[in-house]
Chains A and B, each alone.
Chain A
């Protein structure tokens, strides 16, 4: 059986720096996979290669068996990959509803239509998507005045507009209040499970990661160092070492302190 996403030996270097090397993993439909790792581990580079923003040096990316390596973001999107950004990217001059409508128009190949008022097309569908993320009441508000947490939810609605098979979410809850974070990820998880969307997300908030992820991958210095169930990863000695340090300096100082 071909899985939804198959990544083989992905690598990218900038100058002499290996941002990502030899990353391989798979993702099944409806599965929620977290990619964690310290800052600079290569998470965002990995993400940007998956949706085509960066071309990998080597390695292949297959979506439902189809090679998408080196495709442009817009082509990858057409194959059913939605994405949200670490720093939200939305259309500030439009209303919340119009933001979703543009994505819907694009999905329906209607952006080369030169007449007809676009503000009325796909309005129902747009509102249904906004309803899904709990933003229906804000449909007419200017996007430029939304709070950051709302922008994140709007991005999710936009990302869902092409009925994606795969959602890539780069730090979906960064910059949000704790309560909002939990809500947004619960929402995402519920949508993903219901519509059998595969979700790959990066996250720094471990509560979010361990509550929702089916599996967790840990990236450090461009390499995958652990992969498995949240429980297994939590117990992994190497992972602990990365996140909490080896304890060499700290313990040593304490011992010295006691000796003195």
Chain B
């Protein structure tokens, strides 16, 4: 009993910091409608800065002042980011905003290592709160008690700011109706900047407050952002009180989950989140979002199947690729196989994201599940490669069917956050459940059948499977099902009004995309001969997103082209620089801001412009309007 009370208090203490970060995210979203993926990065920066400042500054004031200064410094960085980057993309689709802020996250990860080094840092303890207090005969760190008190205090302060200050009233007004506030003559630019700075300050402070409890590491950003996403999904985006309640719920679940299911404690959080979503899809204290501003992938240029000429060109391209083993060496073929496998992965994400309008930030989960499925089939069940390649994707299918059922109840940013959270849960299961998955050591010795064991044989296998998969997805795009799916993306209202069951159609698309991702994953397992948790980690998901974006999100063929270019670039980059995340993050940001149509999109734009120089003035006008937006 006493032990449980102490465990409960530990949970409450963890909730404080989580609440700070989550409320910051919620406040920013309420006003700017941006889900700030970089929030975890600011949390991490807050911790690192607090570490440096508390080491440099002397005494009690030095410590507490250092924490606050760290928060303020991070807030200044946040304001800078808002002015330089976010102001350019407020009107862009949600996906672009998520991606841009994720690009920033990647850059910060490398920068932090450059500045503070790769080792975990252990910070000072809080002066005056070094000891412990006896509660029911158990020792509770007094710093924990301080944190427990801090949570409600911050909640109260935020409440005061929002209810009693002019600025707070404006923020609440903007949360309800941004356009109206702008029409009243309020300078939106600075309102947004100040809100962003406040939200980021909370994140930075949340990170700074963690240093007496936890080591500072360069992996803490993704860990916290996933927890924060879970918190806001449960509590409801835009609700500070919801963030408070949900932060406590999630922290307590973590604290007690370790006792109940030490190996897979996150499953408990998942179950609660799932239950909340079934009952209240917009979170406990959230409000239903209006219709999504603009689903990704909507193009004003209707899609067409390949013309006979284009078909010949594509067939020739595949034939050329099949001839590669005659000239290329082993290393080139292995790289080639990997690129081809990722083309299939990107195509599967494209189906969900561009055709279905559902931007998944956790698509790697199904890639990884396919890989683990194949590894289980080959190692545990002792199946030959051919059978394992068929069995593996079934795990991806099962995962997509389960998670997708929950995800398609939501749309827009909620969908993105939920897919990410599910992917992270899958990752942590793969990571923690050592008996089955081998944990961090992965599963080794997943070897192909003899005929495909050489780089050449495997290359042909990968090419055949991927080409068939991509072709199948393309047929799906232009099938009646594909049209129905696009219909739900273009207008849910109209789709439901002509008898289309949105949920069922999108769920089916989710399962299809997950299965094809699983096929790619199974191939990947045999290519590498091993499976690791990182196969289903967030970076793999984001790789997929960038491939689709780079190729052109509004196009049918973009994903494949994007995958070929991106994967080749990434492999080359890895061999050239230590700071691949920094470069990659910068590439993402530049893509989003300056090159949102992608490679294929830009090519199509050029072609259309050339055709239009003939007659057809109406079409030209529309395209100009589109370009102006």
A contacts, CB < 8 Å to B? 51, 53, 72-74, 77-78, 83, 85, 89-95, 98, 101-103, 105-107, 110-119, 121, 141-145, 158, 161-162
Q: Apart from A114-B479, A142-B301, what are 19 other A-B pairs with CB-CB below 8 Å?
A: A53-B496, A74-B499, A90-B491, A90-B494, A92-B491, A93-B486, A98-B483, A102-B484, A105-B483, A106-B484, A106-B500, A111-B484, A114-B475, A114-B480, A142-B300, A142-B302, A144-B299, A144-B300, A145-B619
Closest residue of chain B to A89, judged by CB? Answer: B494
- Segment 578-629 of B: residues with Cβ below 8 Å from A: 618-619, 621-623, 626
Alpha-carbon separation in the docked complex, A44 to B301 (Å): 33
* Nearest-CB residue, chain B, relative to A108: B480
Bound form: Cα–Cα A117–B478 in Å = 5
Tell which of B305, B483, B501 touches A102, judged by Cβ atoms closer than 8 Å. B483
Asked whether A106 and B300 contact (CB < 8 A) given A111-B483, A113-B480, the answer is no
- Report if A110-B480 is in contact (Cβ < 8 Å); known contacts: A72-B496, A77-B497, A93-B299: yes
How many Å from the CB of A28 to the closest CB on chain B?
23
28 residue pairs bridging A and B, Cβ less than 8 Å apart: A72-B496, A74-B500, A77-B499, A85-B493, A89-B493, A89-B494, A89-B497, A90-B491, A91-B487, A92-B490, A93-B302, A93-B490, A94-B490, A102-B483, A102-B498, A103-B498, A111-B483, A111-B500, A112-B508, A113-B479, A118-B478, A121-B480, A142-B301, A142-B622, A144-B626, A145-B300, A145-B622, A158-B498
A110 to chain B: closest residue by CB = B480
B496: contacting residue among A73, A101, A142, A145, CB under 8 A = A73
Q: Which residue of B lies closest to A140 (CB)?
A: B302
- In the complex, chain B residues whose CB is within 8 Å of the CB of A95: 302
Do residues A51 and B497 form an inter-chain contact, with CB atoms below 8 A?
A: yes
Q: Hey, which chain A residues are within 8 Å of B479, CB to CB?
A: 113-118
Residues of chain B whose beta carbon lies under 8 Å from any beta carbon of chain A: 297-303, 305, 475-476, 478-484, 486-487, 489-491, 493-494, 496-501, 505, 508, 618-619, 621-623, 626
The answer for the CA separation of A141 and B622 in the assembled complex, in Å, is 11
Interface contact B302-A114, CB-CB below 8 Å:
no
- Residues in B whose Cβ lies below 8 Å from that of A107: 498-499
Contacting pair B496 A113 (CB below 8 A)? no
CA distance A94 to B299 in the complex (A): 9
User: What is the CB-to-nearest-CB distance from A224 to chain B, in angstroms, rounded to a whole number?
Assistant: 25
* In the complex with contacts A83-B497, A115-B479, A117-B478, A105-B622 CB distance below 8 A: no
- Cα distance A102–B495 when bound, in Å? 9
Please state if B305 and A117 are interface contacts (CB–CB under 8 Å): yes
**B568 to nearest A CB, angstroms?**
30
Top 9 A-B pairs, shortest CB-CB distance: A145-B622, A89-B494, A111-B484, A144-B300, A91-B490, A118-B480, A113-B480, A103-B498, A89-B493
A75, chain B: closest CB distance, angstroms: 8
B567 to chain A minimum Cβ distance, whole angstroms, is 28
Task: Determine the distance from Cα of A117 to Cα of B305 in the docked complex, in whole angstroms.
Answer: 9
Q: Nearest Cβ in chain A — how far from B513, in angstroms?
A: 13
- Minimum CB distance partner of A122 in chain B: B480
Tally the A-B contacts, defined by beta carbons under 8 Å: 123
**Which DSSP category, helix, strand, loop or mixed, fits chain B's interface?**
helix
Chain A residues whose C-beta falls within 8 Å of the C-beta of B619 in the assembled complex = 141-142, 145
Bound CA span A114–B499, Å: 18
Instruction: Choose one: B475, B480, B493; the contact of A105 (CB below 8 Å).
Output: B480
A93 neighbours in B (Cβ, 8 Å): 297-300, 302-303, 486, 489-490
* Bound CA span A107–B499, Å: 7
Cα–Cα, bound, A143→B619 (Å):
11
What residues of B have a CB within 8 angstroms of the CB of A73 in the complex? 496-497
Residues of A within 8 A of B489 (CB): 93
> Which of B476, B483, B491, B619 has the most chain A CB within a 10 Å cutoff?
B483
Are A161 and B481 interface neighbours, CB within 8 A?
no
For A142, list chain B residues within 8 Å (CB): 300-302, 619, 622
CB distance from A93 to the nearest CB of B (A): 5
Residues of chain B within 8 A (CB-CB) of A92 are 298, 300, 490-491
List chain A residues, Cβ under 8 A from B298: 92-93
Q: Return chain A residues, CB-CB under 8 Å to B475.
A: 114-115
Residues of B within 8 A of A98 (CB): 302, 483
Give every chain B residue within 8 A of A143 (Cβ-Cβ).
302
A77 to B496, CA, bound (A): 9
Q: Do A91 and B484 touch across chains, with their CB atoms under 8 A apart?
A: no
Question: What is the CB-to-nearest-CB distance from B156 to chain A, in angstroms, rounded to a whole number?
Answer: 28
* Separation of A251 and B486 alpha carbons in the complex (Å): 57
* A72–B496 CA distance with the chains assembled, in angstroms: 8
Whether A114 pairs with B498 at a CB distance below 8 angstroms is no
Instruction: Give the chain B neighbours of A161 by CB distance below 8 A.
Output: 498
User: In the bound complex, do residue B481 and residue A77 qualify as a contact, i.e. CB atoms below 8 Å apart?
Assistant: no
Q: How far is the CB of B624 from chain A (nearest CB, A)?
A: 11
Smallest CB separation, A85 vs chain B (Å): 7
Tell me which residues across on chain A come within 8 A of B623, comparing CB atoms.
145
A90 cross-chain contacts in B, Cβ below 8 A: 490-491, 494
| Nearest neighbor of A119 in chain B, beta-carbon distance | B478
Give the complex CA separation of A51 and B483 in angstroms: 23
Does the CB pair A78–B497 fall under 8 Å?
Answer: no
Chain B residues closer than 8 Å to A113, beta-carbon distance: 479-481
Residues of A within 8 A of B491 (CB): 89-92
In Å, the complex CA distance between A102 and B488 comes to: 11
Cβ–Cβ < 8 Å partners of B487 in chain A = 91, 94, 102
B480: which A residues are within 8 A, CB to CB? 105, 110-114, 116, 118, 121
| Shortest distance from the beta carbon of B556 to any chain A beta carbon, whole Å | 11
Whole-angstrom distance from the CB of A187 to the nearest CB of chain B?
20
Shortest CB distance A167–B (Å): 12
Docked CA distance A98–B499 (Å): 16
| Residue of A78, A112, A145 with highest tally of chain B CB at under 10 A | A145
